[in-house]
Structure 1
Amino acid sequence: MRISQKLEYACRAMVQLARHHDGQTLTRLDDLAQREAVSANFLVQILNDLKRSGLIISKRGKAGGYLLAREPREINMQHITMAVEPGMLMPNISEQGESGKSVQEAWGKISKSLDQALKEITLDSLSTQSPMFYI
């Protein structure tokens, strides 16, 4: 499976916001970009998509920044995917030809399974996972 850089960065930014979520404290764009080693210019575009989808709130100004619009347990990977890559979950397969319908049904089944799996993974579960360190 190929995940776009845009979707990857959106997920990483949302996990960062979930890790620092208290419902009030804003996280600055520069802090998000630095923590996740991404371009602030690209990240701001992604954050705008997330804002339009109602997943985050932004405040402008010197003390501005971003925060989750809901609790981390209420936001899942499917929400994020639909905000930045909605076409990923909507297969566009033709029914033409003798095998078209069966191929379309197979991809539809796969898409539904992926959609369900994305719904099961919340920001809360991603933000509370401890990194593993190996010696």
Structure 2
Amino acid sequence: MAHLARQESNKPVLIGQISDTEVIPKKFLEAILLDLKKLGFVNSKQGKGGGYYLAREPKDISLASLIRVLEGPIALLPCVSKNYYEKCDDCPNEGICTLNKVMVELRDSTLEILENKSLESLK
């Protein structure tokens, strides 16, 4: 995504060029780009002058949204995740769990940074 963000005026880039420049295996990159296309982060153009390009301006794509779709939850524990919440098996009462309170604070601090940084900041 950072490679695409660095391109002039959303010029399509071939998978092979991204793979070579960023040292990412081509098959792995193809799978990632297909997922990102389905989710509306990138578009593609076929034929001469084709390739992948960003579907939105880099300034409009938060790092938090990218991490969620590529990696999953931002929170370190499922019991503090906003989007992927799961009750902890080891904790009988989240309300009195001291680790839970620290992890909520960590999640909130991390989210504040990632939601206020865009793909443009990686150029």
**Aligned pairs for 1:44-83 within 5 A:** 44-61=30-47, 63-83=49-69
SS across alignment from 2:12: coil
Deviates more, 1:95-104 or 1:66-75: 95-104
Match of 1:9 in 2: none
SS across alignment from 1:49: helix
SS across alignment from 1:87: coil
TM-superposition CA deviations, 1:81-122 (whole Å, max 9, x none): 011112233731327247862212221221121111112222
TM-score (norm 2): 0.78
CA contact (8 A) 1:76 1:122 kept: yes
Matched, 1:16 2:16: no
**Aligned CA distance change for structure 1 residues 37 and 62 (closer, same or farther; 3 Å):** same
Give the gaps of 5 or more residues in structure 1: 1-13, 128-135
Deviation at 1:59, TM superposition (A): 2.7
TM-score (norm 1): 0.72
Give the gaps of 5 or more residues in structure 2: 80-87
* One-letter code aligned to 2:119: L
One of 65, 73, 91 as aligned partner of 2:77:
91
**Aligned CA distance change for structure 1 residues 77 and 21 (closer, same or farther; 3 Å):** farther
Deviation at 1:26, TM superposition (A): 0.7
SS across alignment from 2:52: strand
* One-letter code aligned to 1:72: P
Aligned pairs, number: 113
Identity %: 28
SS across alignment from 2:115: helix
Supply the distance in 1 between the matched residues of 2:53 and 2:104 (Cα, whole angstroms).
Answer: 34
Deviation at 1:45, TM superposition (A): 1.2
TM-superposition CA deviations, 1:23-59 (whole Å, max 9, x none): 3x21110011011011011111111222222111123
RMSD: 2.2
Matched, 1:103 2:99: yes
* One-letter code aligned to 1:96: C
Match of 2:111 in 1: 115
